[in-house]
Amino acid sequence: RPHRAFVCPGGREGGGGSATDGIIRVMQWNTLAQALGEGMDSFVNCPPEALNWAERKYLILEEILTYRPHILCLQEVDHYHDTFQPTLARLGYRGNFCPKPWSPCLDVEGNNGPDGCALFYDSARFQLADSVNMHLSALLMPTNQVAVVTTLICRLTSKRLRVAVTHLKARSGWECLRSAQGSDLLRYLTSLAQSPGLPAGGTPDTPLLVCGDFNAVPSEDVYRLFASSPLNLDSAYKRLSRDGLSEPAYTTWKIRTTGECCSTLDYIWYSRDGFSVDAVLDMPTEEQIGPNRLPSFNYPSDHLSLVCDLSFKEHVD
């Protein structure tokens, strides 16, 4: 698989961080549910053998082990109990999984159960404070989309951080639903941030990360909601661009019977007050992805992983 380099904001090559120097490495990845990839997605240029779970699972694990994130946020996980949880537990990770209430995987013959969001953390680096599984609502109505919100304590610094992982409603025509789901998640995260004793409008004491497949391009309402939230969030992958203001050109690239889809749907949001971004993993080029796009024998999902190195900002009173 082609090498991807870590880029420091400003253009230097980086990514040398390890658990001992205070860097927190975060991975966001829609790993492509096995049942959807084989039974629903119709990736017309992807050879069926590249979707064989017995081999594809090793490519997914290889990707995770190549970067060894301290925090791993995954969507479309339909092999949590039989693959991700036991394998990652042996490597020192602990995790939480929230299945979708009516996962489309269940409509696929021979499915392995519902897909959902999973949040793993390196237990050598973090201690669990709390984890909540959320079913996202829209206008007070339950929807089929979920989130996991986990609060962790860093064993190096004793600092707390909160991480949320989500996968918003897919497809065009559902922009309003995505926006409502994003509002629901932001409302919940805001309620957690306003801990007793914090002055109204004060800086949340627990810095936040929100990782997800938002199924929304940067011009959509839900992106604007996150970018302008009082939680003061910024999108880490903007730091890959020259001006530091633009998202990458794509985080997913596939060819379905309905045509080619190359778009930016996945994000790592972080508290501007709480973290600085030290490095982000560059995206593969169009040539590296290849003419048949994703997934492929080289890339096991139709989404690319997003990986960044963050560090706690020191606060000067």
- Residue 102 makes contact with ligand NDP by CB under 6 A: yes
- Residue 70 makes contact with ligand NDP by CB under 6 A: no
CB of 240 to ligand NDP, least distance (A): 21
In the bound state with ligand NDP, the residue whose beta carbon lies nearer, of 231 and 289, is: 289
In the bound state with ligand NDP, the residue whose beta carbon lies nearer, of 17 and 104, is: 104
Distance CA 231, CA 226 (A): 8
CB of 132 to ligand NDP, least distance (A): 20
Instruction: Tell me which DSSP letter residue 199 carries.
Output: P
In the bound state with ligand NDP, the residue whose beta carbon lies nearer, of 206 and 252, is: 252
In the bound state with ligand NDP, the residue whose beta carbon lies nearer, of 55 and 107, is: 107
Candidate residues 36, 77, 148, 149; the one interacting with ligand NDP per rule CB under 6 A: 36
In the bound state with ligand NDP, the residue whose beta carbon lies nearer, of 77 and 152, is: 77
How much of the chain is helix, strand and coil, in % rounded to 5?
Answer: 25, 35, 40
Distance of CA 119 to the CA centre of its chain: 9
CB of 307 to ligand NDP, least distance (A): 18
Adjacency order of strands within the sheet including 126-138? 126-138, 141-154, 160-167, 208-213, 266-271, 233-235
Which two three-digit tokens encode residue 24?
């927190």
Candidate residues 17, 69, 95, 104; the one interacting with ligand NDP per rule CB under 6 A: 104
In the bound state with ligand NDP, the residue whose beta carbon lies nearer, of 29 and 269, is: 29
The b/e string for 274-295 (b: 16+ C-beta within 10 A; e otherwise) is: bbebbbbbbbbeeeebbebbbb
- Residue 170 makes contact with ligand NDP by CB under 6 A: yes
- Residue 278 makes contact with ligand NDP by CB under 6 A: no
CB of 107 to ligand NDP, least distance (A): 4
- Residue 213 makes contact with ligand NDP by CB under 6 A: yes
Distance CA 164, CA 150 (A): 6
Question: Can you give the three-state secondary structure of 247-315, one letter per residue?
Answer: CCCCCEEEEECCEEEEECCEEEEEECCCEEEEEEECCCCHHHHCCCCCCCCCCCCCECCEEEEEEECCC
Judge contact between 126 and 93, C-beta under 8 A.
no
What Å distances lie between residue 244 and 5, 8, 9, 138, 317, CA to CA? 17, 11, 8, 32, 27
- Binding residues for ligand NDP, rule CB under 6 A, total 16
Which x/- pattern, by CB under 6 A, does the window 176-195 give for ligand NDP? --------------------
In the bound state with ligand NDP, the residue whose beta carbon lies nearer, of 89 and 249, is: 249
Binding site for ligand NDP (CB under 6 A): 30, 36, 40-41, 76, 100, 102, 104, 107, 144, 169-171, 213, 215, 256
